[in-house]
Chains A and B, each alone.
Chain A
Amino acid sequence: MSVQSRVDKVLENYGLAKRDKLIPILQDIQEEEGFISRSSVLKVAKHLGIPASKVYGVATFYNQFRFEAIGTNHVMVCRGTACHVKGSASVLQMAEEVLGIKAGQTTRDGMFSIETVACMGACGLAPVISINGEFHAKITAEKLKKLIEEIRNREKSNGAK
């Protein structure tokens, strides 16, 4: 299915929607496409009958919305207080170093992306990260490096097949 029709399909679910459905619509689009594209913003604006600037304003206000595609392996680093006290800054630094990108970016091959989150709510097991939704507790910079290398090797051998 093409990208265009996926957005249209989301909008179909919100037939006679008003402004209060704006955030749920954007969330659904991001769920489908992985990010909010320029054309999606325009479509949503038209659908709800509000200026595109307002849609864009809302989308950029909230941390959840992305405007760039994420990598196949999405690394989320928790930067909550407990994680910070337990050294999440060095974990983030290591992730950025190993992958050669900054938080919020995606590697050129589209294999990895990094995102920081305010708090994942697993403070008892700090520091935590999640890769594609799977949590890794009590992570250290070294452990993370290993994890990333494992994924890289796996992807490589998959690619070779």
Chain B
Amino acid sequence: MAQNNDIIEKNLSAVPASVRKSFLVRAFGSEDYAEKAASLRRETLKKPVIYVGAGTCGMAAGAGKTLEAAREYLKANKIDADIVEVGCIGYCAAEPLLDVQLPGRARVSFQSATGDVTAKLLDSVFKDEAPLKDNVLGQFEDGGKKWPKLPMFNEHPFFRKQMRFVLKNCGIVDPLSIEEYISRGGYGAFLNVIHTMTPAQVCDGVIASGLRGRGGGGFPTGKKWSVALAQQSDQKYIVCNADEGDPGAFMDRAVIEGDAHRVLEGIAVGAYAIGASKAYVYIRAEYPLAVKNLKRAIDQAKSYGLLGENIYGSGFDLDVIVKMGAGAFVCGEETALLNSIEGRRGMPKPRPPYPAVKGLFGKPTVINNVETFANIPEILTRGFDAFAAIGTKGSKGTKVFALSGKVNRTGLVEIPMGTTLREIVFDIGGGIEHGLAFKAVQIGGPSGGCISQANIDIEVDYESLKTVGAIMGSGGLVVMDEKTCMVDVAKYFMEFIKKESCGKCIPCREGTMRMLSILKTITRSRKGESAKDTLSRFQGVMELENLAQVIKETSLCGLGQTAPNPVLSTLRWFRDEYEAHIFDRKCPAGACTEMLEFSIDQNKCKGCTMCAKGCPTQAIVGKPKLPHYIVAEKCISCGNCRTVCKFKAVTAA
């Protein structure tokens, strides 16, 4: 909307007139940009536009077929319209998303727009002029004439409580167009910074804004920058950590896929603030689309003179290099990441010296995560103090969470700090799937913890989350219901950590292995257990907490120090579940199949023999057409019979 022009104006108000002119001419063709910018923002349309959410998740949900169907539809009906592939707007559960905007009308968004219904949906807009209500997600507040009786997009429960800084453009703009980013105020803040502010002023401003590292640690970003700025060196580096290794987190992928320029602008400002002339983006190779969009964005920024030598006559040089990570969770740790860029095994080094003093190739280096950088343009545009006014006492601004698991509305959620977890899970996420009961929410991935029903009203804030044994983490938020076994979850995370431990220090390498084997004995069935096995099982159980403490206290890096957290936090809040496994040899959630005792309901069994044929240990006996039985001593609780039974006669307890 027009306020975007105000942002462009405000950002450029102090930069030299010659810079302003050459920037605007390059982006919009002339200094008189208002009209061109409005059309780039698609406020004034000459022909209809169809938007398809084509991020990785959209494609997984079938956006490719939607795109194809939309193209065919336009061809068949001889309609002249543009098709724009946008990034992910964040509402994964509703994918694939298809938006249509007619000239002068509000953009309307459809959910679950799979290939087979695309034509029907497009018909409802182009022919009937009455968008099909069943699929409508909402219409946008974009100045176009509103559709009667259609809900507003912002008022959808998934979006109502969100506050979008980092995700502002995701799913709205074409991520492959730098012009669109500039038309929404992009890169103006960067030009303003390099022409009117000293690096020290930028650092101080970011300190004042209260921005803290969004990668999990929560270290004040401005402070990190000023430490690096104070170092005297011929070369400094800035590194963007896009190696989103946390299983259950995908914010960084979505931001880079949907709005790579925002991240680049943040990196460029950071580089200026510390005096770095080289930036590395360390990105996961598992995210091919994000890598592609990022590389494209860098090329565009270079051709616009926003990267390279002597950027817009400011004397500031910046080169951005993309490094593909090769898949190692430990590389989320700063010093391990630097080792990986240098071409070594990603093993952490002792700190100090901190990377801000002696980092990449022995030079001062600042490492921030994608979301941290993506906040920077918004902070500069809003003003440092205005940003600091949002959030809680110690945590400012917003946080993006990847809401997933057993919740109705999954997706990316950006909320102001201080929002409660209850609001996220129940108001935004729409509660638990299939009407089951909520059990816990896992926050912070393998380094984080589980938060139980008792603490669901806790506010999202770096400090308050620590009080319940969890951490903010990078933003994974996995919801669990009554059918999720917490011991199994702890076992899952230990398995992950055991695999990902780099092997440098013994407590982490050997300790996590031992913890995993103890957890495995806890969820083991009693069958075939000798007296000695039982004894060593109890020994392990007794040592579990002690072992966790040792690993915590004696590991070198963050991975090891936080490795026992999933076990400790589940022990703290779900001790009864552990006890049920240990003493009663039962899994209350019914998730640990090994512990289940299977039986066949004699009234339901039709004697079809399917289960007996599929049983790997011949534990099922019975004659055809007569009810079957399971011989408990032979049963290994694989669950095969339950899967194959067509009459739901096999029960487990």
A: residues with CB less than 8 A from B are 18-24, 26-27, 57-58, 61-65, 79-86, 117-126, 128, 133, 135-137, 141
Contact = CB atoms under 8 A, between A and B. Distances in A.
A19 B343 CA distance: 6
A136 B56 CA distance: 11
B107 interface: no
B95 A61 contact: no
Interface residues of B, number: 57
B286 A62 contact: no
Contact of B411 (A23, A57, A64, A124): A124
From A57, A82, A84, residue with most partner B Cβ within 10 Å: A82
A22 B343 contact: yes
Contacts of B250: 119, 121-124
B344 to A, nearest CB: 7
Contacts of A57: 345
Nearest to A119: B247
B246 interface: yes
16 contacts: A19-B342, A20-B343, A20-B361, A27-B326, A61-B345, A62-B328, A80-B247, A82-B404, A82-B405, A118-B329, A119-B245, A121-B249, A123-B476, A124-B412, A125-B95, A126-B410
B294 interface: no
A117 B411 CA distance: 20
Nearest to B287: A121
B343 A135 contact: no
Interface of B: 56-57, 59-62, 92-93, 95, 244-250, 253, 284-288, 323-324, 326-329, 340-346, 361, 402-406, 410-412, 442, 445, 476, 478, 480, 484, 489, 492-493, 496, 500, 502, 643
Nearest to A120: B286
Contact of A135 (B56, B442, B476): B56
B247 A85 contact: no
Give the 3 A-B CB pairs with smallest separation, nearest first: A124-B92, A135-B60, A81-B248
B523 to A, nearest CB: 13
A141 to B, nearest CB: 8
A122 B57 contact: yes
Contacts of B345: 57-58, 61
A20 B493 CA distance: 32
B536 to A, nearest CB: 26
A124 B403 CA distance: 7
Nearest to A22: B343
B326 A65 contact: yes
Given A81-B476, A135-B60, A136-B60, A121 B286 contact: yes
A81 B247 contact: yes
Contacts of B286: 117, 119-121
A83 B478 CA distance: 10
Nearest to A117: B286
Contacts of B57: 121-122, 124-125, 137
Contact of B496 (A118, A133, A135): A118
A133 B60 CA distance: 10
Nearest to A116: B499
A138 to B, nearest CB: 8
Contact of B404 (A27, A123, A133): A123
Contacts of B62: 137
B246 A119 contact: yes
A58 B347 CA distance: 11
From B246, B285, B286, residue with most partner A Cβ within 10 Å: B286
B480 to A, nearest CB: 6
A20 B341 contact: yes
A84 B344 CA distance: 31
Contacts of B643: 141
